Structure 1
Amino acid sequence: MMYEQQQHARIDVRKRMEKKGSIKEERLEIVDLSGMSLEAVPISPSLNLGTICNLDLSNNNIQSIPESLIARLLNMVVFDVHSNQLKSLPNSIGCLSKLKVLNVSGNHIEFLPKTIENCRSLEEVNANFNQLSKLPDTIGFELTNLKKLHVNSNKLVFLPSSTSHLTALRVLDARLNCLRLLPDDLENLTNLQVLNVSQNFQYLETLPYSIGLLINLVELDVSYNKIKSLPDSMGCLRKLQKLSVEGNPLSSPPMEVMEQGLHAVREYLSEKMNNAEHKSTAQKKKSWVGKLFRYGTFNGNNNNNNRKLHEDRQGFSIPEYRSIDGLASPRYMGMFSPRRLFSPRTYFSR
């Protein structure tokens, strides 16, 4: 198998730059080596690694990536190595200052190198289906441009507190882990639209009160955990359109309220926040109520009885179990090919 021949057929020269009135061509190449049964990353002396902006090594059997290779990919924007046999990423990944999309899903990676914090242009990280037990402690302080963080189907026990500093984050998917709690101070995630912490099963028992400050949250999935009550502050999530709570031993809100739909749940929680019966906890919640006023999400007794409850029922999910999104999509079909399922290697080892 000649690497240069296959590479020549699968490279696309893309970029043109206009400078001082003249057209200057800059060769930025897309290299696609996916699905070629590679066990190592081929390196051709004739290829200028500095010109690669998109490198796809997905759906192979690669076990390691050379440090020296990554250090020379200085213009890489997209790096896709999903569905391989990687156990770690090289520390030199921190050299990729232009990297925006990193897909390492479907490997056996146990930790992300701390140097990933130097990839400050990162906008999307997909590390689903790995063996991650923790994320770098200070990841949230550095990756301020990160918009999507997918870490489902790992072994995460907690998310670092710095996660609450990912101010550009729009999607956080941490389902199918071993999460015991979420960071207390989520109020900085003002751009978060989708939060999925479902299927942590016997581990996740509570949600932080600050979840009510996620002012742009549209979808929240906390299904199949051990949550007994929803925080009162969730009554202030005005933009919430979809709430999934099935598979939890919920006592608050009661079942009769949940059966009426999302609008009724918000009304119940908002009213509960103001209920005199909870004055014993007022001192604890006083600072949160102040924040809710400041963020403009709390409006006291929100009794808009003229609204039709059925408008919200479409966004509220209790009884139906939903499978993992995208598992059988074309993007992940390589994970379940006959070659992988019946090869000597175990694809998902725990």
Structure 2
Amino acid sequence: MMYEQQQQQQQVRIDMRSKRQMEKRKMMMMMMNNNNNRVVGIEVEDENSIDTNNKVEEVVDLSGMSLDTLPNPPLNLAIISKLDLSNNNLQSIPESLTARLLNVVVLDVHSNQLKFLPNSIGCLSKLKLLNVSGNLLHSFPRTIENCRSLEELNANFNQLRQLPDTIGFELVNLKKLSVNSNKLVFLPYSTSHLTNLRVLDARLNCLHSLPDDLENLINLEVLNVSQNFQYLATIPYSVGLLISLVELDVSYNKITTLPESIGCLKKLQKLSVEGNPLVSPPMDVVDRGVMVVKEYLCNKINGTQKTSPKKKSWFGKLTKCGTFNGASLPVDGGEGYIMPSYRPIDAMTSPRYMGMFSPRRLFSPKSYFSR
């Protein structure tokens, strides 16, 4: 009985592979590149991709084919687990195509000419990685919040001016958010609710501020908000409450003061602050490394930061150097000196030459000495 079941399962696998090969041939016939008559390549997983439940998963690679549009393929799109459309000339993705990618886990459309994403992207409930970098996107459709399995979102090098207001409330599984090289003025308040986020890269934008409640990002390890240049002038105190933070890059902004709470970041190993008009901590402290900076800020919190010693007066310095070797004597409740007994000195400083150092001669024209 067991042998018969194994034979039946093996026959099912063979039938499914045959069906996939036929669909592949149809797909290749349909997806001819009209510009250069090249066949679009499709990578197909091996037979191990067919599990015991007879599910078929397929990787479709249409990258770098100079495609302007996507034809409607006869392939069952529901079996695709990874779709790579990167490095083409696509200006849009058909709504109908995206809506049928029900089992896609990876969608890569980077380096195209996309100005918007289809609303049907919200149907991709199993999507874990979305790469839309290197396009012309100004915003995301609100339906992207329905991609609740999303773990990595790469939207670098676009023209994004804002992110969906509630993105942090919905994409609760997001671990990496990369939105560098855009035109973002702020990050939505909901960003502070991405409790699974590990990397936040928002450099090279126009950020004026950061959300106040960043301490909720308990798993955040890397925060990069560098190169917002003349816009970002302050860092919220909550940055110092990111208990998992390992790297912090706030370089090339207008920051004058780092929050004292940064001194509490026990796991912080890398701190980049160059290119800021920093006053606190002073640059001589910064130059000595992250541990010294943390100690400096921690001491400020505890009120134990040593102030700079008062500069000694020139008179004190002369005394220390022995310029005046008389004994000290209180004068009117203060300090004074008793000059030692006069000893004639046969030199320029002797009384014989005292006249040469009179105020009249010191402040007279040079001709006075030429006499």
Same-fold call, TM > 0.5? yes
TM-aligned CA deviation for residue 43 of structure 1 = 2.1
Establish whether residue 113 from structure 1 lines up as the match of residue 141 from structure 2: yes
Query: In the alignment, which residue of structure 1 is the partner of 2:366?
Result: none
Q: What one-letter code is carried by the residue in structure 1 that aligns with 2:243? A: I
Instruction: Give unpaired runs (5+ residues) of structure 2.
Output: 1-27, 33-38, 306-371
The answer as to whether partners of 2:229 and 2:252 remain within 8 angstroms in 1 is yes
Matched-pair contact (CA < 8 Å) for 1:148–1:169 = yes
* Corresponding residue SS for 1:235: helix
> Quick check: 2:116–2:137 contact (8 Å CA) kept in 1?
yes
Q: Which residue of 1 aligns with 2:69?
A: 40
Share of identical aligned residues, percent?
Answer: 71
| Contact map agreement 1:7 1:31 (CA 8 A) in 2 | no
Residue 243 of structure 1: aligned partner? 271
Q: Residue 25 of structure 1: SS of its match in structure 2?
A: coil
Q: Secondary structure at the match of 1:179?
A: coil
Aligned to 2:77: 49
Q: How far apart are residue 275 of structure 1 and its match?
A: 1.7
TM norm structure 2: 0.71
Looking at structure 2, the residues matched to 39 and 4 of structure 1 have their Cα atoms a distance apart, in angstroms, of 12
* 1:12 alignment counterpart: 45
Aligned to 1:314: none
Task: Identify the residue that residue 338 of structure 1 maps to in structure 2.
Answer: none
Question: Is 1:30 the equivalent of 2:59?
Answer: yes
Partner of 2:158: 130
User: After superposition, what is the alpha-carbon deviation per residue over 1:225-272, rounded to whole angstroms, capped at 9, x for unaligned?
Assistant: 000010000000110010000100000001121122111100110111
Q: Which has the higher contact order (CA 8 A, sep 6+)?
A: 1
Specify the alignment match of 2:107 in structure 1: 79
Corresponding position of 1:197:
225
- Given that 1:138 and 1:160 are in contact with CA atoms closer than 8 Å, whether structure 2 keeps it comes out as yes
Question: What is the CA distance between 1:160 and its match in structure 2?
Answer: 0.1
1:299 maps to: none
Judged with a 3 Å threshold, the aligned counterparts in structure 2 of structure 1 residues 117 and 175 are, in CA distance, closer, same or farther, namely same
Q: CA deviation at 1:29?
A: 0.7
Map residues 253-292 of structure 1 onto 2, 5 A cutoff.
253-275=281-303
Does the 8 Å contact 1:193/1:219 carry over to 2?
A: yes
Q: Secondary structure at the match of 2:293?
A: helix
Please give the residue correspondences for 1:144-159 in structure 2 after superposition, counting only pairs within 5 Å: 144-159=172-187
Which residue in the other structure is 1:167 paired with?
195
Give the TM-score normalised by structure 1.
0.75
C-alpha RMSD of the superposition = 1.5
Bigger radius of gyration? 2
The 2-side partners of 1:137 and 1:16 are apart by 40
- 2:216 is paired with a residue of what secondary structure? coil
Tell me the alpha carbon deviations over residues 262-308 of structure 1, each in whole angstroms, 9 at most, x when there is no partner.
Answer: 1110011011112289xxxxxxxxxxxxxxxxxxxxxxxxxxxxxxx
- The within-5 A match list for 1:216-227 is 216-227=244-255
- Work out the number of aligned pairs and report it: 271
What letter is aligned with 1:11? V
2:67 maps to amino acid:
L
* Secondary structure of 1:156's aligned partner: coil
Contact 1:12 1:31 in 2 (8 A): no
Distance in 1 of aligned mates of 2:58 and 2:147:
20
Contact 1:15 1:25 in 2 (8 A): no
Matching residue within 182, 195, 199 for 2:210 = 182
Deviation for aligned residue 1:2: 4.1
Q: 1:130 Cα deviation (Å)?
A: 0.2
Partner amino acid, structure 1, of 2:123: C
Q: Are the aligned partners of 2:105 and 2:128 in contact in 1 as well (CA < 8 Å)?
A: yes
What's the counterpart of residue 281 of structure 1?
Answer: none
1:159 is aligned with what amino acid? Answer: L
Alignment partners' CA distance in 2, 1:259 and 1:10? 51
Q: CA deviation at 1:74?
A: 0.3
Distance 1:220 1:106 in 2: 25
Unaligned residue ranges in structure 1 (runs of 5+): 18-22, 278-350
Give how far 1:89 is off: 0.2
* Aligned counterparts of 2:291 and 2:81: Cα–Cα separation in 1: 47
Structure 2 CA distance, aligned partners of 1:108 and 1:243?
32
How many Å apart are 1:212 and its aligned residue? 0.8
Give the C-alpha shift of residue 77 in structure 1: 0.3
